[in-house]
Structure 1
Amino acid sequence: MVRISNNELDRLKNEVSLVRLAESAGIILKKHGKDYLGHCPFHDDKTPSLVISPEKNLWHCLGACNEGGSVIDWVMKKEGVSFRHAVDLLKNNQLPSLAVEVNTKTKPVFHAPQKLDASLLATADEQALLTRVIDFYHETLKQSPDALAYLDSRGLHDVELINAFKLGYANRSLAYRLPLKPVKAGAEIRRQLQAIGLYRDSGHEHFNGSLVIPVMSSEGNVTEVYGRKLLNNLRKGTPKHLYLPGPHVGVFNPVCLSQPEIILCESLIDALTFWRHGFRNVTTSYGTAGFTDELFKALTDNNIARVLIAYDRDEAGNNAAEKMAKPLMAAGIECYRILFPKGMDANEYALQGCSSAARGQESVAAALKMSPARKSLELVIRKAEWMGTGTKPQPSGLLLNPIPFLSIRK
């Protein structure tokens, strides 16, 4: 477990206003000299015995409970959580009306992700609950420097992309937004979360530490969830890639099925890479073994004329592409193989294009403004190889003119 630095603890103790925290809990405070007085929430306080000192940002009860301490002690006592959990709540700005004191007349308030309502969740069906959790993860990602830095490292830190696919981040904070476990509503919600697969039997979040990518139907229902761990230095046996338990359900980016040709990727990260650079007619299987009957039916039912297979350029990707192309071509769909450099996938290839084009730029984001990744992807699309036998069809569509549907914003 990562140690919390003394500097971080000191920052929280000094910056987070105890006065604001107490007032957000419904405690009426009255000025008394340099301090504030109010009724202590931790015992049956008949006369105001809670003293808060803004100057030191400390609190103390002069009454029966005789409790006191810093903002961390307050959160531990008020929320019934451990020291580390209290620090997490404060660091992630996940307490109602959490405020940072600054030397100005206006004191900005951090807006936490919306707390999940117990009365709604206790009676909600699984889809409603799943949607609420995905919304929570989505808001968490937008406030997480770690998650946004990971997206930047993959060339995917883009507001339009993040919002279009409701990208999220699971950072162990979901439990803090639920009713307490001993409470009936809290136990019922956790049971539902386990049934869906968002919680494990151990009580931990299934996607903890992961970028979360939901797969949504045309109607907006969540049909599958993919998680990719942000860290690579995981304990032996810890998977980097996670899905909900059970068979894969749904087609990623179903709006692409309205086009006559599809770019088919091996992973959701690769599909997002094409989408980010303007190639919006893209979908994905769930890995080399995840080309589902549902996806095959979607391609044939929507009269897709051509599939450009953009699997990884490795043995597993090559074998899966060959295997997949056979039933597709038998169904009358033209198949082409997008060939990245050996050993590379679409995301790595796009980032390499950024790196070589940037030449001294400080970040991937700076290189993306030059749009080298788009040009690199155009090149491999144009050079995609026909996978059939006999007479090769005349190039058309993307093969002839691989211009993105939407240009990259300057």
Structure 2
Amino acid sequence: MARIPEHEVERLKREVSVQRLAETRGIRFTRHGADLIGKCPFHDDKTPSLVITPSKNLWHCLGACNAGGSPIDWVMRAEGVSFRHAVELLKADHLPLAASPIQPVKQSTVRKLPAPVEREADDRVLLLQVVDYYHDTLKQSPEALKYLQSRGLQSPEMIEHFKLGFANRTLGYRLPAKNRAAGAQMRGRLQELGIYRESGHEHFNGSVVIPVFDAAGAVVEMYGRKITPRLREGTPDHLYLPGAHRGVWNEEALQASKDIILCEALIDALTFWCAGFRQVTASYGVNGFTGDHRRAFQQHGTERVYIAYDRDEAGEKAAAELAAELIEMGLECFRVQFPKGMDANEYARKVTPAAKSLAVLLNKAEWLGNGKRPEPRIESIVIEPVSEDVALEIEPEP
């Protein structure tokens, strides 16, 4: 699970007044030197034992609670929520606006943030609402944006156009409580759609999420890429919705061009797109070229495919088998040759500018058909080509 950025936690500790949080609960204070003294709301306090130090923005109960801490700790205790949930409440400023005494917290009364999904929504709308929520979350998540930047995918246009999102477990904080009928029903529906697991956790938690839409704008597939480099052993980096893959990512490219770049993975396809090559789509992994891809290629009259799979053993084998299949379908095929061991994203980050270096590889792609090699006709935004020596001779780091 992606951690809350430390600077965000420190900002809340610094900017949210714990005195104000206490006063909204109806607590009255008297000054005692640099501190404020009042009755603790967390136990039956006959003699004032709650101490707040405004200069440090800290609180402490010297009585039965023997507890204290920052504004976040206050919200955790007052609302009966987890650390992450308390942070979300503070970020949304979803706190009491009038004096209200603190009662023992019951799960059914825990404050909830505004729900991003509607109980009455059908499955199609519900998935779109989840995608919208993840999309909004990404734009407010420095850690997710930093990950995209590290992959050379910091284009705001790309993020908006493809509705990239980020799942960070906060969706559950905005649903009705799971011990209520509405909450149980909603979680059950999200589990059926693949957004939740039987364990009660979000399926894509800790992942940048890339949705796949059909021609009508419905979400038919979702891909998640974990952003944390050191995961628990056995945790996959790549996730999809449960079940068979559906749809074709960026199918509009097939409508606009007869020449298509086909990548092994969505991150690689986004790399080409950000470099100005909009006629790109992707398989769902090395063996993820599906019947939907075949039908789309035939439906839109695709004529030529540039196979830009990874330059490793699995990628080479899959590219050769796929090329044979596509040629049998009547398509012309080229193999984009990255340096050994590299994929499109790694190469584009290593040889910059990516728009120029990728153009060189596309124009030098290996012809996989019979007879004379036709001239590549892939459209490029490149005007000044990069040196072919630089583009083709670079080797990956050990």
Identify the residue that residue 348 of structure 1 maps to in structure 2.
346
- The aligned runs of 1:10-409 (5 Å cut-off) are 12-18=12-18, 57=57, 70-82=70-82, 84-86=83-85, 88-89=87-88, 93-96=91-94, 115=113, 117=115, 121-258=118-255, 259-354=257-352, 372-392=353-373, 394-398=374-378, 402-403=380-381
Q: Which amino acid aligns with 2:220?
A: T
Cα distance in 2 between the residues matched to 1:60 and 1:183: 34
Mapped contact 2:2–2:227 kept (Cα < 8 A)? no
Secondary structure of 2:119's match?
Answer: helix
Cα distance in 1 between the residues matched to 2:160 and 2:2: 31
Cα 1:224–1:41, aligned 2, differ >3 Å: closer, same or farther?
A: farther
Cα distance in 2 between the residues matched to 1:244 and 1:2: 20
Cα distance in 2 between the residues matched to 1:325 and 1:6: 48
Mapped contact 2:213–2:221 kept (Cα < 8 A)? yes
Q: What RMSD in Å do the two structures reach over aligned CA positions?
A: 4.0
Q: CA deviation at 1:17?
A: 3.1
Aligned length: 362
Mapped contact 2:261–2:308 kept (Cα < 8 A)? yes
Q: Which amino acid aligns with 2:282?
A: T
Q: CA deviation at 1:80?
A: 2.6
Mapped contact 1:381–1:402 kept (Cα < 8 A)? no
Mapped contact 1:270–1:346 kept (Cα < 8 A)? yes
Cα distance in 2 between the residues matched to 1:291 and 1:327: 11
Cα distance in 1 between the residues matched to 2:380 and 2:70: 60
Identical residues among aligned pairs (%) = 55
Mapped contact 2:5–2:143 kept (Cα < 8 A)? no
Cα 1:126–1:7, aligned 2, differ >3 Å: closer, same or farther?
A: closer
Secondary structure of 1:225's match?
Answer: strand
Cα 1:235–1:163, aligned 2, differ >3 Å: closer, same or farther?
A: same
Cα 1:53–1:152, aligned 2, differ >3 Å: closer, same or farther?
A: same
Cα 1:56–1:248, aligned 2, differ >3 Å: closer, same or farther?
A: same
Cα 1:2–1:308, aligned 2, differ >3 Å: closer, same or farther?
A: closer
Unmatched tracts of structure 2, length 5 or more: 44-49, 97-111, 384-398
TM-score (norm 2): 0.78
Mapped contact 2:363–2:376 kept (Cα < 8 A)? no
Cα distance in 2 between the residues matched to 1:345 and 1:300: 27
Cα 1:54–1:156, aligned 2, differ >3 Å: closer, same or farther?
A: same
Q: Which amino acid aligns with 1:153?
A: S
Mapped contact 2:9–2:87 kept (Cα < 8 A)? no
Cα distance in 2 between the residues matched to 1:6 and 1:257: 43
Cα distance in 1 between the residues matched to 2:302 and 2:218: 24
Cα 1:208–1:7, aligned 2, differ >3 Å: closer, same or farther?
A: closer
Mapped contact 2:85–2:173 kept (Cα < 8 A)? no
Secondary structure of 1:307's match?
Answer: strand
Cα distance in 2 between the residues matched to 1:7 and 1:139: 20
What whole-Å deviation, never above 9, does each CA across 1:176-202 have from its counterpart, x for those lacking one? 121221122111111111111111111
Q: Which amino acid aligns with 1:250?
A: G
Cα distance in 1 between the residues matched to 2:187 and 2:350: 43
Cα distance in 2 between the residues matched to 1:204 and 1:217: 27
Cα 1:329–1:3, aligned 2, differ >3 Å: closer, same or farther?
A: closer
Cα 1:377–1:6, aligned 2, differ >3 Å: closer, same or farther?
A: closer
Cα distance in 2 between the residues matched to 1:95 and 1:198: 27
Mapped contact 1:72–1:86 kept (Cα < 8 A)? no
Cα 1:196–1:35, aligned 2, differ >3 Å: closer, same or farther?
A: farther
Cα distance in 2 between the residues matched to 1:352 and 1:14: 40
Cα distance in 1 between the residues matched to 2:160 and 2:3: 33
Q: CA deviation at 1:14?
A: 3.2
Q: CA deviation at 1:134?
A: 1.4
Cα distance in 1 between the residues matched to 2:132 and 2:9: 29
